[in-house]
Structure 1
């Protein structure tokens, strides 16, 4: 297998192979079968971990403070059955092999996402500083845009040995990946993305206008300027793992993957083959967890918002790390103080989306004056930043994501309600498309989200700053617990914020699988010798330590 997957680069372990091996993920002693494990959060990490722990013969008990699915949130427009707004994750690169394992398992289908300059988008409009450009491919844009794309490719080669490293990842050559990647960690951990492009020979030799276009428009999913302050390591991982390329959306909504997995039966140790996560949880998750503490018996007590307290040998925490100090009263002794530092210093980025349902995909109508579609996928420096179109068929209601923005652009709309956000977006788009009456096509109520305003998230996803590698290393490697004091064992962490690839569901799934191995090991279980798990090879292949 030589196709690209999220194979490292920090920990080059083939999760997709571990998942699909005929030997299974491992086994736990029969006398531990049926024991309960608490999982805090019913998002991608919690549900996938729960499914695999169920197969091992444990009883995962899920706690959810808000909406099932976490940031895989597919909101259905009122009065419809399947017209949706994807408020969280909406585009999933094909390199996310572990995630697509579950997509295939539950029978969900995907299709190409309408990113800029892709065939799925059909056409793209770029509107910067009042200049509007129409394109179907990169070749249709002025030379400056091609210079930007070529300069970034050259910068990756120059500063990160990009082609050599990606070739090693495609070949799943773990030794070679670490040989190239590990020196880059020390070189780039404390330097920003913006530093990377400005200090490169190829990009640094170009004008500020080139960097400005790269920040506003970028190539792939859109502009990069919101990430300019981030550690360059974080951006390198996105590029190396192909996370910004070949993206697809899940038909019917990505939340369907978790809803189906919740009800998916599987061949299990201990449990009948008809067993499901839903069944083991009595058909519904527990309520919000408000306290996690070590009980006098040595077990970990989880208390929900209604006062019910249950004891567990193991607990998996998949919620955003800041909730452990703001929403869940967590016994400090459960984690070492350096780990608390990492959890508290995690920086979350803001993100906002505004969706409307329209009567039909009218944007496909041809403007007789130009011979072009009325509207196109749009990238702009205006308040909307990114506008996407979702076609459900010629005679069916369609969806427009009027605006998808991050950081400062997301904060601009934070105080406003849904209708005001739509008004602002329509006003901005009216400057780009002055003769198109979008409002007349809108049906029902808009659907909006600002993740930083949700008390259950406090932000959309992690955005590591320079110098945060050590913090990420502490969180990511916490599933290896043999050397921890007894009072710190048995509580595990997972989620994309614990991973090396925040904002991508693959990171949530991979850290969930790390936690599955850790919990299995905690219960005295082992992986098969012919299908060694992440914890079995971590000492040899784990992330380099900067200390």
Structure 2
């Protein structure tokens, strides 16, 4: 979600702390927690080697399993497909070194816990070419049949600056943007909670669109229309308008829509390397032991077919091979809807209110289509001295087109279309080839002198996440009134308040987090689950480095109670 029309965030300076994804709902310093030389804690020696089921091999599952391995436990990972989840990097046929990022493809520096693991496994990153960013040679905004070419916001008509200013003024006047960002920089927990708790009470029932309509700066329908077509970021189009404004405020407060970076070689390398990496500070296992080493044949267990509780205090997993194993604790990191459809479960897994929250989860659909081309031909200059093609935002079918290259003489990748929600649904009946034909026809109207097709050198790759059987959507986006459900899911890791019959199974993943759709949420909820497992098995956090559960009463999210 990098800004096509910049928000105008509070001024950065060399002496100012950075804005990070610190809160606002649960302002726990996950990055400091990870960086502490004291480590995350320990379990009793007689618990070392205890098996813990980790269901789902995406980023959250790999972080969970990696940290449990370090603590001396034995994670048993179950995965229906490949290690990676929605960090899915697909190589083009005949070109194994070049990938299409079918899921997450850009990450904000404010995701400090996420980048902790990126750095740990030695991955490199580079700026992602979002609209109007310094990494983007040029941007074209094409609306209602009129195209505008720009290198900076100042190159666009005044209307776009007016919309950008209106968005910032709205955030400042209605959501206290500057005050909140200052508090996040300073990690001023009382101020963060005072501002945010007030906003939750005021806006839990408000849509993104309703919030705009509340602002005098967006009294003009034309401004709301342009803003919906161009957006505060690539995720801020009008397809987001029905969602809760709280979802949007979390993004802009924490700069999740700023200065994105991509992972060189593909984002799937992160969970794959965590799978293979041997931690240097193992508590129980032989030096050099990795997650892969603990799994026969170096592969995870297959998909889970059934999950239920068995006495005394066991969680029993049946996989698609028919193998049945029981565990004293388990972490479920797959998308929660799997518990409603793909996996046979019993109601004793969770309290009724938790089941209700799972059932009310609202997922956004998302589709992409990528093509590999012979070279970054878009950098050729036309007779006006402009790039032949540009990063494109449009109200036509593609919505967003991104141009990705590794140099002038190498094959390059075009994300020809990136759409969400209703826009994504328009592609569902179409094959990959049909999608390509529609997209190229649309782009031909924007770039009449460019023949994209003649540059394509490999079969295009497409995805619609809402039809992926083990996902059924790209990521969660809460609707108005869903805060109570989100609070139940996120706080589930603190289980002392639950009846004993419901303990031992922990939820993790970005859809459990407050920042669904962002990898940081997957990491943070994984760390919550690790704390929960350690606590459940009689362990504790390291002295001087309290975990998220230790500080829960101090930092816990606002609660509406039972009213």
Over the residues paired in the alignment, what is the CA RMSD in angstroms?
Answer: 1.0
User: How far did 1:244 drift?
Assistant: 0.5
User: How far did 1:392 drift?
Assistant: 1.9
Report whether the alignment pairs 1:491 with 2:505: yes
SS at match of 2:371: strand
Instruction: Pick the aligned partner of 2:387 from 373, 381, 390.
Output: 373
CA distance in 2, matches of 1:57, 1:24: 13
Contact persistence 1:116–1:222 (CA under 8 A): no
User: How far did 1:224 drift?
Assistant: 2.1
Aligned to 2:448: 434
Contact persistence 2:133–2:259 (CA under 8 A): no
After superposition, what is the alpha-carbon deviation per residue over 1:75-119, rounded to whole angstroms, capped at 9, x for unaligned? 011111211100000010000000000000000011111000012
Instruction: Pick the aligned partner of 1:2 from 3, 17, 31.
Output: 17
Matches within 5 A, 1:240-319: 240-266=253-279, 267-282=281-296, 283-319=298-334
Contact persistence 1:390–1:398 (CA under 8 A): yes
Contact persistence 1:49–1:513 (CA under 8 A): yes
Instruction: Pick the aligned partner of 2:116 from 101, 113, 117.
Output: 101
User: How far did 1:202 drift?
Assistant: 2.3
CA distance in 1, matches of 2:259, 2:390: 19
Instruction: Pick the aligned partner of 2:162 from 147, 150, 153.
Output: 147
CA distance in 1, matches of 2:461, 2:302: 25
User: How far did 1:346 drift?
Assistant: 0.1
Aligned to 1:213: 226
Task: Identify which range, 391-400 or 68-77, moves more after superposition.
Answer: 391-400
SS at match of 2:283: coil
CA distance in 1, matches of 2:409, 2:460: 20
CA distance in 1, matches of 2:543, 2:253: 30
Report whether the alignment pairs 1:351 with 2:366: yes
Aligned to 1:500: 514
Aligned to 1:237: 250
SS at match of 2:95: coil
Matches within 5 A, 1:357-506: 357-367=372-382, 369-506=383-520
Contact persistence 1:323–1:456 (CA under 8 A): yes
Q: Is there any run of 5+ residues in structure 2 with no aligned partner, and where?
A: 1-15
Aligned to 1:340: 355
CA distance in 2, matches of 1:510, 1:418: 35
Report whether the alignment pairs 1:224 with 2:237: yes
Aligned to 1:65: 80
CA distance in 1, matches of 2:317, 2:452: 50
CA distance in 2, matches of 1:509, 1:323: 20
Aligned to 1:113: 128
SS at match of 1:170: helix
Aligned to 1:199: 214
User: How far did 1:222 drift?
Assistant: 5.8
SS at match of 2:368: strand
CA distance in 1, matches of 2:553, 2:157: 50
SS at match of 2:40: coil
CA distance in 1, matches of 2:233, 2:505: 38
User: How far did 1:220 drift?
Assistant: 3.5
User: How far did 1:468 drift?
Assistant: 0.2
CA distance in 2, matches of 1:257, 1:321: 22
Aligned to 2:10: none
Report whether the alignment pairs 1:525 with 2:519: no
Report whether the alignment pairs 1:322 with 2:347: no
Contact persistence 2:38–2:543 (CA under 8 A): no
SS at match of 1:414: coil
Aligned to 1:185: 200
Q: TM-score, normalised by structure 1?
A: 0.98
Contact persistence 1:5–1:96 (CA under 8 A): yes
Aligned to 2:90: 75
CA distance in 2, matches of 1:251, 1:19: 24
Contact persistence 1:126–1:378 (CA under 8 A): yes
Contact persistence 2:48–2:73 (CA under 8 A): yes
SS at match of 1:373: coil
Contact persistence 1:216–1:222 (CA under 8 A): no
SS at match of 1:518: helix
SS at match of 2:336: coil
User: How far did 1:529 drift?
Assistant: 3.0
Contact persistence 1:222–1:386 (CA under 8 A): no
CA distance in 2, matches of 1:534, 1:459: 28
After superposition, what is the alpha-carbon deviation per residue over 1:441-495, rounded to whole angstroms, capped at 9, x for unaligned? 0011110000000110000010100000000000000000012112210000001
Contact persistence 1:222–1:379 (CA under 8 A): no
After superposition, what is the alpha-carbon deviation per residue over 1:125-183, rounded to whole angstroms, capped at 9, x for unaligned? 00000001000010100111001011110111111111111111111111221121111
Q: TM-score, normalised by structure 2?
A: 0.95
User: How far did 1:223 drift?
Assistant: 4.5
Q: Is there any run of 5+ residues in structure 1 with no aligned partner, and where?
A: none
User: How far did 1:262 drift?
Assistant: 0.8
User: How far did 1:540 drift?
Assistant: 1.1
After superposition, what is the alpha-carbon deviation per residue over 1:352-374, rounded to whole angstroms, capped at 9, x for unaligned? 0000000111111111x221111
Aligned to 1:535: 549
After superposition, what is the alpha-carbon deviation per residue over 1:310-330, rounded to whole angstroms, capped at 9, x for unaligned? 110111001111110100111
